[in-house]
Amino acid sequence: MNVLDFANSIEGYLLVSSVLLILGIFAVLTRKNAIGILLGVELILNAAGINFVAFSKYHSAALEGQLVTLFLILIAAAEAAVALAIILRFYRLKQTIDADEASLLRH
């Protein structure tokens, strides 16, 4: 199988999504910056979306996978908005967004 056909197959899609998942997990674990952790979470969510869309085409040829990805994108948007609001609030309290500093339940 040459590389062009591989890129157009489900294996190509799943390989890209696996790499995105691994890099997202790596970013979540290694970043100290709270926004860096959020970037990793976005990568993981995109990996899941690619999987749903790829199976929607290559396996069932039906629309359900695309609908799940649509809901996933909307949930990710809501999650990013709330997370950034929390980060801004935390920055106002502590003058830093280092995740190691977020160790108290109260302020």
Cβ 50 vs Cβ 20: under 8 Å: yes
The residue within the footprint of other proteins, chosen from 39, 48, 101, 102 (CB under 8 A), is: 39
Binding mask 43-82 for other proteins (x = CB under 8 A): x--x--xx--xx-xxxxxxxx--xx-xxx-xxxxxxxxxx
Place of tokens 């749903």: 52
Q: Closest approach of Cβ 17 to other proteins, in Å? A: 9
Instruction: Say which residues have a Cβ less than 8 Å from residue 72's Cβ, sequence separation at least 6.
Output: 45, 48, 49, 52
- Token pair for residue 94? 């502590």
Query: 81 vs 106, which CB is nearer to other proteins?
Result: 81
Regarding 101 and contact with other proteins (CB under 8 A), the answer is no
